[in-house]
Amino acid sequence: DVKVTQSSRYLVKRTGEKVFLECVQDMDHENMFWYRQDPGLGLRLIYFSYDVKMKEKGDIPEGYSVSREKKERFSLILESASTNQTSMYLCASTAAGEWLRELFFGEGSRLTVL
Partner 1 sequence: AQKVTQAQTEISVVEKEDVTLDCVYETRDTTYYLFWYKQPPSGELVFLIRRNSFDEQNEISGRYSWNFQKSTSSFNFTITASQVVDSAVYFCALSEVSTGGATNKLIFGTGTLLAVQP
Q: How far is the CB of 8 from partner 1 (least distance, A)?
A: 13
Binding test (CB under 8 A) with partner 1, winner from 7, 8, 22, 44: 44
Could you tell me if 68 and 54 are in contact, meaning their C-beta atoms sit under 8 angstroms apart?
yes
DSSP string of 57-97? Answer: E-S--TT-EEEEEETTEEEEEESS--GGG-EEEEEEEE--S
Residue 86 and residue 112 in contact, taking contact as beta carbons nearer than 8 Å: yes
Is 35 a binding residue for partner 1 by CB under 8 A? The answer is yes
State the number of binding residues for partner 1 (CB under 8 A): 29
- 106 contributes a contact to partner 1 by CB under 8 A: yes
| Rounded Cα gap, residues 26 and 19, in angstroms | 23
Closest CB to partner 1 among 17 and 37?
A: 37
Residues from 61 through 80 that contact partner 1 (CB under 8 A) = none
| Residues contributing to the site for partner 1 (CB under 8 A) | 31, 33, 35, 40-45, 48, 50, 56, 58-59, 88, 90, 92, 94, 96, 99-108
